[in-house]
Structure 1
Amino acid sequence: MAAMNANIATTNAATGNFRIISRNSRILVPNPLAPLQKSTPGDGRNLAQPLLTAGVHLPPAAAAANVGAFPPAFNGDPTSYTHQEIINLIVFYNDAFGIVVGDVLTTRRNKLREWMSVL
């Protein structure tokens, strides 16, 4: 039963995100994007670790947010994000947004915006 509930939560989050991404895809910079729901269980600490840059740290270990949750204190302007804020979102969403080692901040911001707004 728990596995079925988890699958339903994941499906509901993915469906909700499809709608949000559809709306976000029509928003032009500098207008804020809406946050997506968390759709991947667990945290992304293992994804974020290799992407850390100088002076950036993993957030303190905490229980992973539930599928369907929205990130706390979300900033809808990905062009203003710092490396630390992006790392925090990677940990929250358990998704690296296509970011790879060596991506500079501008590239990371662009990949985050794309993840939030491209179907």
Structure 2
Amino acid sequence: KIIYFVCLVYILQVLTGGKRFAGTDSNIQVTIRGSTSQTRKLALTSNNADLFEQNQLDTFAIVGWDIGDLSEITVESDKTQLASDWDLKEMIMWKILPSDNHKLTQIYFPFNNWLGTKESILKEEI
């Protein structure tokens, strides 16, 4: 029996809220759960951008195995920076399906919550 693993591209957009001091300088990681598997913890980083600032939309490309229908995102902050609180408004995730003419499946995760000194982990399910 031969088992095939399909490598996909996921696009994750992260919107920081508009409240005063909404942005964070801490390191952020996500774990994405699907119907068949989940990712490892993924660090959301950029070589040339100041990420997660007030009213800012940050976009990340994630290449990985197909984890099935997207169902949950867990967000974690390492709280290592002075400005570690973060007003996470929402995340939108696209799954690009190469076997179906690169069809996009979009999932919306409305967090509308603060991540930081009191809570270092947020979880949103569909």
Shared fold per TM-score greater than 0.5 = no
Q: TM-score, normalised by structure 2?
A: 0.25
Please report the TM-score for the alignment, with normalisation by the length of structure 1.
Answer: 0.26
CA radius of gyration, larger in: 2
- More helix by percentage: 1
Whose strand proportion is higher, 1 or 2?
A: 2
